[in-house]
Amino acid sequence: MKKLFLSLILVASLFKASADEGMWLPMLLGQQVYDDMVKKGLKLTKEQLYSINKSSIKDAIIIFGGGCTGEIVSDQGLIFTNHHCGYGAIANASSVEHNYLRDGFYAFNKDQEIQSQLTVQFLDRIVDVTKEVEEGVKGLNWEERTKKLQEVYKSITDKVADKENGLTGRIYSMFKGNQYIMYVYKTYRDIRLVGAPPESVGKFGGDTDNWEWPRHTGDFSIFRVYATKDGKPAEFSKENVPLKPKYFLPVSIKGIKDGDYAMIYGYPGGTNRYETSNGVKLKNEIENPSLVALRDMRLKYMHEQMIKDPAVKLKLASSYAGIANYWKFFDGETKQLTKFKTYDQKKAYEDKFTAWAKGKPEYENIFSEYQKNYDAWTPYSKERQYLNEGIMGSPLAAFAASLISLENALVKTGVSAEELKKEVSKADAARKNFLEAEDKPSDMKIMAAVAMMFYSDIDKSQHPVGFYEKLKGTYGDLKDEATYKKWATDVFNNTMIFDDAKWATFIATPEAGALQNDPAFDFAGSFMKNYTSKYAPLYSAFVNRNNELGRSYLKGVMEMNPAAVKKMYPDANFSMRVSYGNVKSYNPRDAVHYDYITTSKGILEKYVAGDYEFDLPANQVELLKKKDFGQYMDKTRKDLVVGFITTNDITGGNSGSPVMDGNGNLIGLAFDGNYEALSHKIAFDKDLNRTICVDVRYVLWCIDKLGGAKNIINELKLVR
């Protein structure tokens, strides 16, 4: 392990970590990084941050669900995370009669806690497996290496798998394939909902405030992890007991001030800080604009139905929130990459690299090869986005496309009756889940719109053969919106997917012809097969070549600057990281200053009774007007602090991450980034980057004063 990063260096200029940039591996903090943390205000030792032999902060940090972070905050396995991370579980626990998503929910004792389908994972240990991986792919070219890697990974992770104790291994590639680390996780499967504020609190500000500061969102939810009596992971059972954790975070209600130390642990999902200028250009000109336009359309039609009916709103809530979140992100990312001239900065550095690489066969052609690779793929990039974000953006089309595996089983020779039965059963179960989540009115409009957008915006040579010709022959002018509306209406009226009798007949005696003639399957299948047969191989070749070039490029960068052995960190890849910085105000533009905190005063200023995004529970408005803040009031402001901002470096996956002070006490939960720095996946801005956090005092106030769940407060270790 100590050899892990000896050969990995970060160069000056473009790749040098600035002030608070960096998502560091807490188990491998270099002395320079640790010393910098201490200078900024850290009071803990390295072993208190991460230890294998003793309990440490890392033992309180969990992967929550499939893509968020959570933290253990009591000796009874209590979890804090974001409201949007628990959103799906809250929605699933809700009904029209007991709408916990709308009204909020708190368990006043453990018997009232609600079962969920969530899992959480604790980091058990890490192992450097670079030598084993490299030996497993030794002598292979890049294409062969890529195919072999998963097999090599499995041979390594199988050695640590322990089903009884919930242990599994996961191997992460660091620095574009220059290093490999295996993380061993322990997974717990009995996770119960303990509390959540009303949606009007947890999503206060909605899409308008998303990625924006000032922010007044109570973005938190509460769960608990259960285990067997001897602490082992298990499926849900009434016999299970709250987990006794190795470590939990104390909760500070002392308050914060501008300049205070801030540390964030979590599982950032993905960055590409070593992206090339070619990648920035493709993202800015094709990928992001396409995604934004298609998601904008989908959100429009979903929102139209959600505001009409509370049941529809509940049904679509989780899907809508996910689509909206990154709709705004990618729109902002393009604007900031353009504003900061990221393409020009990347290109200037690459020109220096190319000049250095002359006469060095291993490196001198890297960027000419990059250009060839992008030239070969770029003409098809938009088609791929329109398939993924457009055609498959229709829930009906996405489900119909999933039936391609059933079609394959029906047409393929040698498929046993048992295998076919399994495919049919899988399709039948998936249909039931699809129908429960489906909203026909919005989906019908989405399907009509995406079919027209694909026709208008994608080169005709890339259209599925015969689809639009057939549509024109039956419905008329392909430039007329009415054509697509008529067609989509017929698809929805005639597909067996919505017809129980037709579906029952089909699954009783499944035939390929019946499936292929279904209008929904014909639509989805035409576009999906068009992509998989023609363009998927091109995309795979593009990605593989890019990865091969990226590995060589980073290796060359290191050789080019051997004296620049400075602080460095690998791209985020959903492995545990720690970032550090300070609570800090900022000036986003000329003559504008943003304070480092928001307060209840701002909530009341934004509040609009009955508004979709800015409504509040009546009792909250009353309590805030009375200034009934209790022990959670900020002594300096004489108000209730709602949110604050820090200079920490985070990204998606950090949602729900604990924000801690220099002593490791919880002071807030990270939940967003600011719009002025949405280029952060590609390029970190040291001046404008801010992490938006909900203040833990507001969380506790909502639990205690608004929710009346004093039992939860009593379970915490409060630091005053």
Cα torsion at 562, 566, 567, 571 (round to 10°)?
-30
DSSP three-state, residue 408: helix
Give φ, ψ of 299 to 5 degrees: -65, -40
Distance CA 22, CA 16 (A): 10
CA neighbor of 306 nearest in space, from 292, 287, 294, 319: 319
CA distances from 252 to 390, 691, 695, 717 (A): 46, 19, 10, 8
Check if 84 is active-site.
Answer: yes
Report which secondary-structure segment, H or E, holds 190: strand 190-196
Are β-strands 251-252 and 718-719 bridged in parallel, bridged antiparallel, or unpaired?
parallel
Cα torsion at 32, 37, 39, 45 (round to 10°)?
-90
Check if 655 is active-site.
Answer: yes
284: amino acid identity, one letter: N
Check if 13 is active-site.
Answer: no
Catalytic residue among 20, 51, 83, 84: 84
CA distances from 660 to 259, 286, 447, 673 (A): 14, 39, 46, 17
Contact 604, 624 (CB under 8 A): yes
Catalytic residue among 20, 36, 124, 219: 219
Give φ, ψ of 646 to 5 degrees: -135, 170
Distance CA 87, CA 66 (A): 13
Catalytic residue among 221, 442, 575, 655: 655
Distance CA 124, CA 162 (A): 12
Q: Report the length, in residues, of the chain.
A: 720
Torsion sign, CA atoms 648, 652, 655, 658? negative
Catalytic residue list = 84, 219, 655
